[in-house]
Amino acid sequence: MKTYSAAVKVTLRKGILDVQGKTVEQALHAIEFTAIERVRIGKFVEFDITAESEQEAKIMAEDACRKLIANPIMEDFSITLSEREQI
Amino acid sequence: MKTYSAAVKVTLRKGILDVQGKTVEQALHAIEFTAIERVRIGKFVEFDITAESEQEAKIMAEDACRKLIANPIMEDFSITLSEREQI
């Protein structure tokens, strides 16, 4: 068994209004960061997976994202896996 | 002036208890994802910056992260900049 590190970016789908992003954008403009626009806020989730192979780890991570970590109706996710050094 | 896309990962610093991550981990274990551990939840923020150069855009993005997007006492951030294709 090997341990893999997964890094998942969860972003709101295009066309879904990002209220939190809009609020942060307005706050940035209020403190003179007027060159910053189109702020979108998502989640960044990291975890370790123990699996027989990278392929198995990938399937499990995708399954976990679909079932719990992301909301597939409103959000997209992308997973980056890397083998974890033994510690 | 050019427009750059910034992608910022904001993560809780090591040693800071991640209550949200722990909760998600327990929920994953409850639905049989027992091979997943050490869940940490951060933010993933994307925005566009208009600046004269990549260097200027980078300085502005770092400044915005320090002042508003991240909490530098509890969080680390890393910024990836890329030049945006004209649309």
Categorize the per-residue pLDDT at A86 as very low, low, confident or very high, splitting at 50, 70 and 90.
low
User: What is the structure's pLDDT at B84?
Assistant: 84
Report d(CA B20, CA A63) in Å as an integer. 20
User: In the structure, what pLDDT confidence band is assigned to residue A7 with cuts at 50, 70 and 90?
Assistant: very high
Per the CB < 8 A criterion, the answer to whether A4 and A84 are in contact is yes
Residues A14-63: tens digit of each pLDDT: 999 999 999 999 999 999 999 999 999 999 999 999 999 999 999 999 99
- C-alpha distances (whole Å) from B61 to each of B7, B51, B76, B78 are 10, 10, 14, 10
Q: How far is A52 from chain B (nearest CA, A)?
A: 11
| Number of domains, chain A | 1
**pLDDT band (50, 70, 90) for residue A85:** confident
Per-residue confidence (pLDDT) for residue A87, from 0 to 100? 55
Find the CATH number of the domain harbouring A35. 3.30.1280.10
Q: Domain residues for A59? A: 2-83
φ, ψ at B77 (rounded to 5°): -140, 150
B26-83 pLDDT tens trace: 999 999 999 999 999 999 999 999 999 999 999 999 999 999 999 999 999 999 999 9
Say if the ipTM goes beyond 0.90.
yes
Shortest Cα distance from B6 to chain A (angstroms)? 9
Backbone angles phi, psi at A3, to 5 degrees: -110, 130
Which of A5, A9, A36, A49 to mutate to test binding with chain B, by most B CBs within 10 Å of its CB?
A36
